[in-house]
Amino acid sequence: MKESDWKVFKEIKQKAIEKFCTCTLQEYTEVINNEKEHVHNRYLLLYKLVQNRDKEMGLLFDGHSRSKAPLQLLLIRGKGLADNQLLKKLSDDFLQETDPEIFK
């Protein structure tokens, strides 16, 4: 991995974490504030949602190494969490290697 790609990847990953967390917190808020559901059902749903998002966050972001960067970027891009302006700064090779469209 080129040094320039590594530096950009670190920025992409950080912004993706922020976006993931922001979206997740919004989901939690919607569950908590849904007064159409009984309070116990909201609690159970929130509990399950927290568990699922925690697993997802681990898969997307745990471990920070150059060897894991291509897979992480592939997953980040697949979830729509990558900053498009930063993606433009990556080399064509790294972009192609991490293109989620290839695996559909």
Helix (H, G, I), strand (E, B) or coil at 83: coil
What's the CA gap between 71 and 66, in Å, rounded?
A: 10
Distances (CA, A) of 11 to 3, 14, 74: 13, 5, 15
pLDDT of 29: 98
- For the chain, what are the domain ranges? 3-97
Is the pLDDT at 104 greater than 70, yes or no?
no
Nearest Cα to Cα of residue 85 among 17, 11, 24, 33: 11
What backbone torsions phi and psi does residue 34 show, to the nearest 5 degrees? -80, 90
What's the CA gap between 69 and 85, in Å, rounded?
A: 18
Is the pLDDT at 94 greater than 80, yes or no?
yes
What pLDDT band is residue 24 in, cutting at 50, 70 and 90?
very high
Encode pLDDT of 32-84 as tens digits: 999 999 999 999 999 999 999 999 999 999 999 999 999 999 999 999 999 99
What's the CA gap between 95 and 4, in Å, rounded?
A: 13
